[in-house]
Amino acid sequence: MKVTRQKLHQLIQNKLNKAGLSEQHASMVADVLVHADARGIHSHGAVRVEYYAERISKGGTNTSPNFHFEQTGPCSGVFHGDNAAGHVAAKLAMDEAITLAQTNGIAIVGVKKIGHSGALSYFVQQAAKQGMVGISLCQSDPMAVPFGGTGVYYGTNPIAFAAQGEDDKVMTFDMATTVQAWGKILDARSRNDVIPDNWAVNEQGEPTTDPFEVKALVPLSGPKGYGLMMMVDVLSGILLGLPFGSRVSSMYNDLTEGRNLGQLHIVINPSYFTDPQTFKQNISQTMKDLNAVKPAPGVKQVLYPGQNCDINEDESNLNGIEIVDEIYQYLLSDTLYNHSYDHKDPFAH
Q: Which are the catalytic amino acids?
A: 116
Q: State how far the Cα of 94 lies from the Cα of 263, in Å rounded to an integer.
A: 10
Can you say whether residue 192 is alpha, beta or left, with left for phi > 0 and alpha for psi between -120 and 50 degrees?
left
137 backbone dihedrals φ, ψ, rounded to 5°: -150, 150
3-state SS, one letter per residue, for the chain: CEECHHHHHHHHHHHHHHHCCCHHHHHHHHHHHHHHHHCCCHHHCHHHHHHHHHHHHCCCCCCCCCCEEEEEECCEEEEECCCCCHHHHHHHHHHHHHHHHHHHCEEEEEEEEECCCCCCHHHHHHHHCCCCEEEEEECCCCCECCCCCCCCCECCCCEEEEEECHHHCEEEEEECCECCCHHHHHHHHHHCCCCCCCCEECCCCCECCCHHHCCEECECCCHHHHHHHHHHHHHHCHHHCCCCHHHCCCCCCCCCCCCCEEEEEEEECHHHCCCHHHHHHHHHHHHHHHHHCCCCCCCCCCCCCCHHHHHHHHHHHHHCEECCHHHHHHHHCCCCCCCCCCCCCCCCC
Report the DSSP beta bridge partners of residue 80: 68, 112
